[in-house]
Structure 1
Amino acid sequence: MKKSKLYFVIVLVFIAAMAFANFQGVSQLGIPAVTDTKNGIRLGLDLVGGSYMTYEVRDSQNIDQQELADGMSTVVQLLQGRLDSLGYSEATMSKVGTDRVTIEIPSVGDPAEAEAKLGSTAELNLLDSDGTVVLTGSDILSAKPLYGKTTKNGADEYFVRVSLSEAGQKAFYDATARMSTQEKIAAKKNYILIVLDGKVQSSPSVSSAINSDEFIIEGHFTEESVKWLAHVISAGRLPFALDLIDSSSIGPTLGEKSLDTGLVAGAIGLGLVMLFMLIFYRLPGLVADIALVFYMLLVGLTLSVMHINLSLPGIAGIILSIGMAVDANIVIFERIKEELRFGKTVRSAVKAGFTRATAAIVDSNVTTIIAGLVLKFLGSGLIVSFANTLLIGVIASMFTAIVISHILLNGFVEFGATKLSLFGVKSEEKPLTEPKFGFVAKRTIFLTCAIVVLAVGMGSLFYQGFELDVDFTGGTKLTLDTHMTLDREKMDEIANVVEDTVGSRPTIQKSGDGTVAILKMKELGTEDRAALFTALEKSFGITADDRQSIQNISATVGDELTRKAMISVAVTTLLMLIYIAIRFELRSGFVAVIMLMHDVLVLLTVYTIFRIPINTSVIAAILTIVGYSINATIVIFDRIRENKKLYSKRPFDSIVDLSISQTMMRSIGTTVTTLMTVVTLYILGVTSVRAFAFPLIVGILAGFYSSVLLAGPVWAAFRKS
């Protein structure tokens, strides 16, 4: 058996083995099944429901860096203990940067209790009646929750017994001595205030000096509250004050629906792409379909073995990378067709097709990897999940197209599949050596159309600006299933109730089937949210089960997101400019960057004209577009570079026209297959998925226009100048 046939069989066996490992797992090798969400792929909160919170150390810039680092380790340990004491045993926690900690609590719709208690500094102070601090938390050795009789009224009740250090005992004795003088007793100022986090817990009177190493705290406690108080006093005092700067929650019903629709959208998108490839590319299309199966299995195993946290944007990244995986195969197969039209044998055409397509595939995928790395290291939360799956998908797609597709197609050829009709080529077809259209000559028309669109966008931007979501402005966003058809009157009623309850009139948008309301307002604290939920339930019957999601973001986070977004786009663009300048020439690098700016500006034009809110999903989509839409530009530039050598005596304008004509089917095929997956995601996805898919659709279309109709002609103009 020839090596090609042997490799072919090995790949098929390997696919079968990967399928088994994906769905059954191999415990002996430490490979969990993709469905094993406990040991393998971890589902994000937006897929299972739950709450997400980010705390930041207050005034961290004024704290010594070593002290901050040591203190943050203590913060994580203590917060984990608090989570356990609250019953959140499945909660996960991670440090973010040097001064933040993120907490995820599955299956908790509104973590009001957790928010209130997790960020508490549990600052215990004892003050005398003059306001002088007598004891602080550092003077406390331990605190125990007890139940029994106290000296107060003789009845059984819950109380906390506090033990003092030697210094604390002395300070307490001195204070009680001062408070028990005849003057204090006569003025009724003979008391000690026990203050926890700024709130007076009790104010026991003092009739004589107390020289003891312990005292008790009474206060009509329940069993739960006395345990909590003892915990935070004895072992729960955080070294820093923490501010809640970001919180959100997803209802379990919405999470389950998001997972189902994401998987269905992925399956339908994959099916459409495979059908397209089979119809238009025949045998190579079948090879691409088998390679896609390999690709999906490889991605599934990687996510499972690496215990990747998979979220909705993560699923979107996988679905997008399906289209990108097909891109490389289309580039190769179009190359093979060209070689066959030049009269080469099928074996020679396959070899030449893969050889000549590899450079374009690597170049185009490297630019997407650059965008993914920037997203991963400068992004946060769900954006990182998208970046992880995008990077895994792009690397897997390169390997699949360059190695697996090559082995499979070689195998089919060795088994006798050598008819031209199997490759979609007729024997009388001739290679394309002359341009079909004068793209360079018509560049003025193409540029004018682009300039008009962008001018309208800039006019709209200066006139009405952008509609920024709470991700950037800070505030609270609630997504509620009202079970009512939301007309203007109903939305005004809801707005009135919100305004009367929290003093802030929200903006309300309809979503979904017209019964889902998205409310945006000022940032609400825990108490305001609780009051609002009560008012909504009383007025409209909107219960906890109807709260699809809750998002609470401080203005600090909004400002930071804006800054990070600008830095991300700038860093990505600069890195791409450097890479393209190295691979091609500096002028082509500038042209590619201008095309990227065009694509981003077209997207922003759509958002400013139609007043669509800009959130973090849009920023992730912009960076994805920056990495993706440049692919077609690079493939065209790669062909221009090759044709310059083949047709060295031709004018550069003619070479550009020819190169665009030769790569046109690739550009169309890639755009169609990618749109199949993303449009399916938009049609079937929930609101948050649509918010991500829509800008991708706009960006893909803008990228096709700039890459095919603008990039080459503009490069030609730059060379003349």
Structure 2
Amino acid sequence: MKKMNKTRGIVYAILSLVIIACLGGIVLFGLPNWKWLGAYKDSGKAANITQGLDLKGGVSVTYQVSDDNPKWDATDLSDTVYKMQQRVNQFSTEATAYKEGDDRITVDIPGANDADEVVERLGKPGSLYFCTKSSTDLTEEQLAETDENGNKKYVQLTDGNYAGYYQIWLTGDDIADAQGQQSSDSKTKKSEAVVSLTFTDAGSTKFYNMTSQYVGQPTYIIYDNEVISNPTVQSAISGGQAQIDGMADMDEANNLASNIRIGTLNLSLDEISHKVVSAQLGSDALSKSIKAGIIGFIIIILFLLLVYRIAGVAASLALVVFVELEMLTLNAFDLTLSLPGIAGIILGIGMAVDANVIINARIREEIAAGKTVKSAITIGFDKAKSAIVDGNITTLIAALVLLWRGSGTVQGFAQTLAISIVFQLFTSLFVSKWFVWILYYLGFQGEKFYGKEKTRKAIHFLKKRVVFFALSIIVIIGGFATMIGYSAAGKDPFFLSVEFKGGSSVTVDFDKEYTMDQFNDEIKPALVDTLGTSDIQGQKETGSNKFVIKTKKLEGDEFDAFEKLLIEKFGAVDSKDNFQNTMISATVSKEMRSDAVWATIIATICMLIYIWIRFKDIKFASAAVIALIHDVLVVIGFYAVSRVAVGTTFIACLLTIVGYSINATIVIFDRIRENKASMKRGDDLEELVDLSITQTLTRTIYSNVTTFIMVFMIFIMGVTSIKEFTLPLMVGLVCGAYSSVCITGAVWFVLTKKFGKKKAN
């Protein structure tokens, strides 16, 4: 910043504030209708961000197993549910598919408001085959033949120009991926729309066998007993890659790729109903959360201004830019925002505040050490960089693994977290630094504008490490004991919600209109008292007085009490056609849970490897993972003891704790590494660890307090479901602060004393 002076500082300040104001204007009000810029009216507006079923609602479509399936069982239905989940992911990572009754599948797609359009885009679920046409008619016995995997060998089409018999070479299960792309024709050099195919290993072999025998002849892609494409084989194709050309445009290419990508469903399905449903949390949920978030954000800004003065101004402006970029990106990429997504943003804000706290604390330390303010700013940012970068990269690794291996709401969480990490790295290391220098050259050059970090004697945390370890072990054992106690009593160790356990879905028609907020404020509390469970979810069918109420499995007297309450107290229609009670499966499928577990395990291993490489010491990595597991086990124990419902937000909550825990650990380890590098022979290692923890104690307190404030405001102002989500988060934040101060350094010290290299005197 040597080229900056006061005049330039004024110019830069004005330009920067104008840019911030413009970005804020777009977030609040959207862009004008500038067609030349490719922008339409209100584009970029935060209010236009796609919201999940919990915040805004969407479309619900129900399918029934077709009569065309003479033999099928529960396994076929379960497999079809899983494949339908992959299909609806084209709409949103927050879309869900689940079993309803014995022969139905329901899919819920957030953010949509036109059921007919969704049904048209979703299409009729069917089977996908890559075929060649048979030159002779086939007998019924031949049509019934299957291969060693139970797949059909032949298919017959009876309608249209393609009526006849076809040999099946590949099914949708043999396709690893299909994408619509623009490709340049090698002869004409013109761009054309194509579908790029990637086959599985088995599919690659099958595709080569087909294409090598049918060079110059047409092949047929049959979806739901209809030929959707008939490309001609140009040559024998090996290597697992192929292209389908001849597309009219990218829309046609994308639609064909979408159908191919879905794969083969085990069962044929018929759509029997579709409807638009309201937000699960009611219309007030989002507005209250936004108000709470704004209040919490303002408190954080005031806190930064009060504590860090001029540097706090720079940090506050950087935070504003961070939030603006986050909102614009969610809008630009049409990402779906739900409670798990909000968790990712909260974690991002917490890490952004943390980064600025680290930077400003470093600046104050350098001023206290006798450096000039100008030198302190340069050195402070430089010394803070390693802790910020390492903490963010470890969390980004986790987010990327979750995006790759996770599914459903886990991906929604990972998307917002990954975006948050990228932007907060940019704003804390560059935008914040930019504003600090602008303010410096505007005349704020005295020490009084920045403050000095007080020199503190090392607090002897490690002397009480046995007490801390014992306390943690007692808390963790208490959680496990609670789970064992519930299991021994014949109950679930956790209070599993409908999303995890399944239950009843009852369609209720009322004789007057209730809003979702009225349902949550009036009807739901009465149902909680009657049924003895807080796990009750309601969704209003738009344009009617009907509600779909999901809760635990209702039978016998419980269902009678449920029906009586709604009829007598809330005016539900008393008729035999009302109160349709259907058993539903968990919306969080076994596959989704398995994906989340494996993603977390892989992410933890990757983070361990990164920390090992960066710190050149496996003991740092081991201690970090131990602290991470500690925090997760404490929060899991809290779920067991408090009986807070375990639903889709449970996974997001644990992942948030993982991200925050590893970030806090990195900060302390970075200081231990720095102090250890200047450690002299004969220096006490225990004293060094205590000093490192003490030096970062202010950062630990400030970062956790500011993040806690944000979550606490959402807790006290939110609806019941949001309270159930934010309460464990607050427990995790408190636990993370405790473990970073009392457990992390102590574990590293114990491992170092036990397994460290012995040096000769």
Choose from 56, 62, 72 the match for 1:48.
Answer: 56
Choose from 606, 623, 632 the match for 1:600.
Answer: 632
User: Which residue of structure 2 lines up, in the alignment, with residue 472 of structure 1?
Assistant: 500
Correspondence 1:180-199 to 2 at 5 A:
none
Amino acid in structure 1 at the alignment position of 2:473: I
| Residues 542 and 45 (structure 1), Cα distance of their counterparts in 2 relative to 1, 3 Å cut | farther
| Residues 651 and 511 (structure 1), Cα distance of their counterparts in 2 relative to 1, 3 Å cut | farther
Q: CA deviation at 1:254?
A: 4.1
| 2:367 counterpart of 1:340 | yes
User: Which residue of structure 2 lines up, in the alignment, with residue 575 of structure 1?
Assistant: 606
Q: CA deviation at 1:400?
A: 0.3
| Residues 476 and 95 (structure 1), Cα distance of their counterparts in 2 relative to 1, 3 Å cut | same
User: Which residue of structure 2 lines up, in the alignment, with residue 233 of structure 1?
Assistant: none
CA distance in 1, matches of 2:418, 2:582: 28
Choose from 621, 625, 629 the match for 1:589.
Answer: 621
Q: CA deviation at 1:371?
A: 2.6
Q: CA deviation at 1:317?
A: 2.7
Choose from 693, 700, 716 the match for 1:667.
Answer: 700
Q: Say if 2:282 and 2:520, in contact at 8 Å, map to a contact too.
A: no
Normalized against structure 2, the TM-score is what? 0.65
CA distance in 1, matches of 2:677, 2:602: 33
Q: Say if 2:343 and 2:652, in contact at 8 Å, map to a contact too.
A: no
| Residues 166 and 386 (structure 1), Cα distance of their counterparts in 2 relative to 1, 3 Å cut | closer
CA distance in 1, matches of 2:589, 2:318: 42
User: Which residue of structure 2 lines up, in the alignment, with residue 695 of structure 1?
Assistant: 728
Correspondence 1:600-679 to 2 at 5 A:
600-649=632-681, 650-679=683-712
User: Which residue of structure 2 lines up, in the alignment, with residue 3 of structure 1?
Assistant: 4
Q: Say if 2:96 and 2:408, in contact at 8 Å, map to a contact too.
A: no
CA distance in 1, matches of 2:606, 2:549: 38
The answer to which structure has the higher helix fraction is 1
User: Which residue of structure 2 lines up, in the alignment, with residue 380 of structure 1?
Assistant: 407
User: Which residue of structure 2 lines up, in the alignment, with residue 440 of structure 1?
Assistant: 462
| Residues 108 and 538 (structure 1), Cα distance of their counterparts in 2 relative to 1, 3 Å cut | farther
Q: Say if 2:26 and 2:45, in contact at 8 Å, map to a contact too.
A: no
CA distance in 2, matches of 1:8, 1:617: 41
Q: Deviations over 1:87-122 (max 9, x none)?
A: xxxx958999999996526577999x989x987879
Q: Say if 1:259 and 1:312, in contact at 8 Å, map to a contact too.
A: no
Q: CA deviation at 1:54?
A: 8.8
The 10-residue stretch of structure 1 (271-280 or 553-562) with the greater mean CA deviation from structure 2: 553-562
The 10-residue stretch of structure 1 (17-26 or 260-269) with the greater mean CA deviation from structure 2: 17-26
Q: CA deviation at 1:486?
A: 7.9
Amino acid in structure 1 at the alignment position of 2:519: D
Correspondence 1:273-422 to 2 at 5 A:
273-422=300-449
Amino acid in structure 2 at the alignment position of 1:481: F
| 2:570 counterpart of 1:538 | no
CA distance in 2, matches of 1:95, 1:344: 52
CA distance in 1, matches of 2:106, 2:92: 7
Q: Deviations over 1:601-657 (max 9, x none)?
A: 111111111222212211111111111111111111000100012233322111101
Amino acid in structure 2 at the alignment position of 1:670: S
User: Which residue of structure 2 lines up, in the alignment, with residue 705 of structure 1?
Assistant: 738
CA distance in 1, matches of 2:597, 2:30: 44
| Residues 691 and 36 (structure 1), Cα distance of their counterparts in 2 relative to 1, 3 Å cut | same
Q: CA deviation at 1:560?
A: 2.4
Alignment partner of 1:50: what SS?
strand
| Residues 10 and 349 (structure 1), Cα distance of their counterparts in 2 relative to 1, 3 Å cut | same
CA RMSD for the aligned pairs? Answer: 4.9
CA distance in 2, matches of 1:679, 1:420: 34
Alignment partner of 1:481: what SS?
helix
Amino acid in structure 1 at the alignment position of 2:644: I
CA distance in 1, matches of 2:582, 2:319: 37
Identity %: 37
CA distance in 2, matches of 1:693, 1:468: 17
Alignment partner of 1:292: what SS?
helix
Alignment partner of 2:462: what SS?
coil
Alignment partner of 2:646: what SS?
coil
CA distance in 1, matches of 2:461, 2:279: 53
Q: Say if 1:34 and 1:301, in contact at 8 Å, map to a contact too.
A: no
Correspondence 1:446-595 to 2 at 5 A:
446-464=468-486, 465-476=493-504, 481=519, 495=531, 507=533, 520-522=551-553, 538-541=567-570, 554-555=585-586, 557-584=588-615, 585-595=617-627
Amino acid in structure 1 at the alignment position of 2:669: F
Q: CA deviation at 1:536?
A: 6.7
Unmatched tracts of structure 1, length 5 or more: 81-90, 123-136, 143-162, 168-236, 496-505, 525-529
Correspondence 1:142-161 to 2 at 5 A:
none
Q: CA deviation at 1:72?
A: 9.1
The 10-residue stretch of structure 1 (305-314 or 610-619) with the greater mean CA deviation from structure 2: 305-314
Q: Deviations over 1:199-241 (max 9, x none)?
A: xxxxxxxxxxxxxxxxxxxxxxxxxxxxxxxxxxxxxx99942
| Residues 285 and 93 (structure 1), Cα distance of their counterparts in 2 relative to 1, 3 Å cut | closer
CA distance in 2, matches of 1:485, 1:677: 30
| Residues 564 and 72 (structure 1), Cα distance of their counterparts in 2 relative to 1, 3 Å cut | closer
User: Which residue of structure 1 lines up, in the alignment, with residue 208 of structure 2?
Assistant: none
Q: Say if 1:360 and 1:635, in contact at 8 Å, map to a contact too.
A: yes
Amino acid in structure 2 at the alignment position of 1:471: E
Q: CA deviation at 1:402?
A: 0.2
CA distance in 2, matches of 1:367, 1:44: 28
| Residues 472 and 487 (structure 1), Cα distance of their counterparts in 2 relative to 1, 3 Å cut | closer
Q: Say if 1:55 and 1:101, in contact at 8 Å, map to a contact too.
A: yes
Alignment partner of 1:310: what SS?
coil
| 2:18 counterpart of 1:13 | yes
User: Which residue of structure 2 lines up, in the alignment, with residue 25 of structure 1?
Assistant: 31
Q: CA deviation at 1:455?
A: 1.7
Q: Say if 2:288 and 2:718, in contact at 8 Å, map to a contact too.
A: yes
| Residues 492 and 698 (structure 1), Cα distance of their counterparts in 2 relative to 1, 3 Å cut | closer
Correspondence 1:194-209 to 2 at 5 A:
none
Q: Say if 2:93 and 2:411, in contact at 8 Å, map to a contact too.
A: no
Q: CA deviation at 1:461?
A: 1.7
Q: Say if 1:577 and 1:590, in contact at 8 Å, map to a contact too.
A: yes
CA distance in 1, matches of 2:673, 2:740: 16
Amino acid in structure 2 at the alignment position of 1:475: G
Q: CA deviation at 1:39?
A: 11
Q: CA deviation at 1:56?
A: 11
Q: Say if 2:93 and 2:412, in contact at 8 Å, map to a contact too.
A: no
| Residues 684 and 2 (structure 1), Cα distance of their counterparts in 2 relative to 1, 3 Å cut | same
| Residues 360 and 239 (structure 1), Cα distance of their counterparts in 2 relative to 1, 3 Å cut | closer
CA distance in 2, matches of 1:402, 1:711: 26
Count of residue pairs brought into register by the alignment: 569
